[in-house]
C-alpha cells in the first residue's frame, strides 16, 4: 500500500490535496508567512484564542491583546503588519483604537471582526481607514480572505506599515 493510500485510509479518505497529509500530521511544519505579524484585539478570551489559532495554523505570527490599551502597548513596542480587532469593547471601542493607531502608525491595515456590522459602522470605519469589516459569525476562509487582502493592499505593503522606526 502506498503512503498516500495509507494516509487516506487513516483519515477516512479526506485527503483532498497533496499538502493535506503534511498539514494534518505535522501542523507546525507549515512555514511562517512573510510579513505575517498580526495583532488580534478581542475582549472575549475564547474568540481571541480562536482567531489566534486560525491565523497561527495558516502560518501567521498572531499575538492577542485583551483590550485596546494592551494593543497600543504591543503595537508601539513590537509593531505588527495587520491589526484585527473587535469593534465593541469596554472602555475603548474599535473606532477609538483605530483613531489612536492612526496617530502613530498611519499605514497599518485594520480589519474589524464584529457582531455589530451595521451600515453606519461601515461608513464610520471606512472614514477612519479600516480596510474591511468581517461580520460575526464567520467562516475560517472568510477571515483568511480578509487578512490576505489587507496584507496585500497598498496600505499593507507600505514600507512602514505597523513597524516603528527606531
Q: What is the pLDDT of residue 64?
A: 98
Question: Following DSSP, what letter does each residue of 35-77 receive, concatenated?
Answer: T-EEEEE-SSHHHHHHHHHHHHHTT-EEEEESSHHHHHHHHHH
Q: Which long-range contacts (CB under 8 A, 24 or more apart) does 22-31 make?
A: 27/57, 30/57, 30/58, 30/59, 31/59
- pLDDT confidence of 157, banded at 50, 70, 90? low
Examine the pLDDT at 72 and tell me if it is beyond 90: yes
Q: Which residue has the higher pLDDT, 125 or 29?
A: 125
Alpha-carbon gap, residue 73 to 54, rounded angstroms? 23
Place of cell 516603528: 164
Examine the pLDDT at 13 and tell me if it is beyond 90: no
Q: Give the model confidence (pLDDT) of 121-144 as tens digits.
A: 889 999 999 999 999 999 999 999
Domains in the chain with CATH codes: 1-30 (no CATH), 32-152 (3.40.50.2300)
Q: What is the pLDDT of residue 135?
A: 94
Q: What is the pLDDT of residue 63?
A: 97
Alpha-carbon gap, residue 140 to 137, rounded angstroms? 10
Mean pLDDT of the chain: 81
Amino acid at each position: 500500500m502506498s503512503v498516500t493510500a495509507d494516509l487516506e485510509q487513516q483519515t477516512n479518505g479526506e485527503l483532498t490535496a497533496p499538502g493535506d497529509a503534511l498539514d494534518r500530521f505535522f501542523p507546525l511544519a507549515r512555514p511562517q508567512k512573510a510579513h505575517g505579524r498580526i495583532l488580534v484585539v478581542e475582549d472575549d478570551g475564547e474568540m481571541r484564542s480562536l482567531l489566534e489559532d486560525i491565523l497561527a495554523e495558516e502560518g501567521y505570527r498572531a499575538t492577542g491583546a485583551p483590550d485596546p490599551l494592551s494593543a497600543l502597548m504591543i503595537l508601539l513596542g513590537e509593531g505588527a503588519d495587520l491589526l484585527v480587532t473587535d469593534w465593541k469593547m469596554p472602555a475603548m471601542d474599535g473606532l477609538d483604537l483605530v483613531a489612536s493607531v492612526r496617530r502613530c502608525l498611519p499605514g497599518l491595515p485594520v480589519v474589524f471582526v464584529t457582531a455589530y456590522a451595521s451600515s453606519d459602522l461601515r461608513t464610520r470605519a471606512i472614514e477612519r481607514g479600516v480596510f474591511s469589516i468581517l461580520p460575526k459569525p464567520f467562516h475560517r476562509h472568510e477571515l483568511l480572505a480578509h487578512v490576505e487582502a489587507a496584507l496585500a493592499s497598498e496600505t499593507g505593503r507600505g514600507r512602514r506599515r505597523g513597524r516603528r522606526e527606531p
